[in-house]
Amino acid sequence: MDPYAAAERLDGRIHRTPILGCTALDRWAGRSLALKCENLQKTGSFKIRGATNAVLRLPPGVQHVIAASSGNFGQALALAAREAGLRCTVVVPRDAPAVKMAAMRGYGAELVLCEPTLEGRRSTLKEQVAATGAQEMPSFDHPHVIEGQGSVAVELLQQVPGLDSVIAPIGGGGLIGGIALACRDTGVRVFAGEPFGADEAWRSKKAGVRIQEPNPETVVRDHVEAVVRVTDEEIVEAMKLCWERAKLVIEPSAAVALAAAKKLPADCHDVGVVLSGGNVDLGALPF
C-alpha cells in the first residue's frame, strides 16, 4: 500500500482540494487549524480517492464493477467507473435517501434495490455478481481503497509544510488508515476522531486488538496516536461553527474530526483537519 503512488495516480483525475483557514475556528480550538476541504472534492467526499484508485488498479479486462452502498461510496464508485469507461451497478437499500439514489444515477450507475438489512445486501450483491459477472469492489478495507484515501494526507503535507499533527474521522478505518500510512515516516502525529456511541475504534485501540468487523486496519492500531472521542453536542457545536464562521458546509463525520481537533493534546499546535465530506440533507439540520 503506497499512498504516495496513489497520489500520483490520482493527480489530475480528482480535485487537489484547497486548504482553508479560519481565525474564529483557530481561536475556538486554541491552535492553528489547516482545513483540508474534502467537502469540496468531486462527489462531495474523500471517497472518490479510494474508489478511483481501486478502479485504476483493476486487472485488465474488467468492464463492469459492482458494490453495495447507501451513500458516499456509491456516488464515488459511480463517478470513478464512468470516468474509466466502466459499467457500474450499486446495490442500494430500498430505504436509502432518494437524493443519494438520484446522485448515483446522475453519475451513470445502475441501481439494484435490496432489503435494508445486512443479509439482504449480501444476498442481493451475490445474486448480481453471479448474474452479471461484475467485479465486486470493496468499500473501505481493501488496500487499493486505503492507499487511495491516504492520498489526502500526501497532498495535505505538501500543501502545509510544518504541520505537527493530522486528524480525521475514523469511520470505517480506510481514511485514517491511509493517512496513517502516508504520515508514517514523517514525524507528523496522527489522531482519529470518533463519536461516543460508535467507539469500536477507541476500544480496539485500548485493547490493542480488533473488537469487531468492520474495523480499522492494524496500521491504525500501530500508527494512530490516539482515538479522540466526542459527544453529539460537541459534533453539533463544531458543525455549526464551521458553517457559521468558516462558511463551509460539512457533514457530521467531518464535524467529528473538527470537534476532536479542539480536544487534542496541548502540544499539537499546527493541525491538519480532514473535513471528510459535505454531503448533508439541508432539510434535516441539527440546528
Give catalytic residues, as residue numbers.
Answer: 47, 70
What is the Cα–Cα distance from 204 to 106, expressed in whole angstroms? Answer: 38
The interface region with its own copies, picked from 32-40, 155-163, 191-199, 202-210 by CB under 8 A, is: 32-40
Which one of the spans 64-72, 134-142, 203-211, 245-253 is the region binding its own copies (CB under 8 A)? 245-253
283 near its own copies, rule: CB under 8 A? yes
Among 23, 117, 186, 218, binds its own copies (CB under 8 A): 23
Instruction: Identify which of residues 16 and 184 has a Cβ nearer to its own copies in the complex.
Output: 16
Nearest to 35 by CA among 287, 226, 270: 270
Could you tell me which stretch among 81-89, 175-183, 202-210, 241-249 binds its own copies (CB under 8 A)? 241-249
Kindly state the number of chain residues that form the binding site for its own copies, as judged by CB under 8 A. Answer: 23
Nearer to its own copies, 22 or 113 (CB): 22
- Judged by CB under 8 A, the residue of 98, 130, 266, 282 near its own copies is 282
Separation between Cα atoms, residue 106 and residue 134, nearest integer Å:
20
Beta-strand runs (E) in 156-246: 165-169, 189-195, 226-230
Question: Is residue 161 a contact residue for its own copies (CB under 8 A)?
Answer: no
Instruction: Work out whether 246 is an interface residue with its own copies (CB under 8 A).
Output: yes
Q: Which of 31, 36, 42, 144 binds its own copies (CB under 8 A)?
A: 42
| Closer residue to its own copies in complex, CB, 217/251 | 251
Position 287 contacts its own copies (CB under 8 A)? yes
Window contacting its own copies (CB under 8 A); options: 69-77, 129-137, 247-255, 263-271: 247-255
Q: Which residues of 89-106 are buried (b: 16+ CB within 10 A; e: fewer)?
A: bbbbbeebeeebbebbee
H-only helix segments in 107-169: 118-132, 143-159
Contacts of 163 by beta carbon, 8 Å cutoff, 6+ apart: 34, 156, 157, 188, 270, 271, 272
119 binds its own copies (CB under 8 A): no
- Candidate list 64, 240, 263, 270; residue touching its own copies; CB under 8 A: 240
Which of 162, 209, 244, 265 is close enough to bind its own copies by CB under 8 A? 244
- Residue-level length of the chain: 287
Rounded alpha-carbon distances, angstroms, from residue 248 to 139, 230, 232, 240, 276 = 26, 20, 19, 10, 12
Residues 6+ positions from 200 with CB-CB distance below 8 Å = 211, 212, 215
Measured CA to CA, the distance from residue 10 to residue 246 in angstroms comes to 28
Among residues 95 and 244, whose Cβ is nearest to its own copies?
244
Interface with its own copies, residue 78, by CB under 8 A: no
Q: How far, CA to CA in Å, does 197 sit from each of 112, 203, 231, 263?
A: 31, 11, 8, 18
Contact positions vs its own copies (CB under 8 A): 18, 20, 22-23, 37, 39-40, 42, 44, 240, 243-250, 278, 282-283, 285, 287
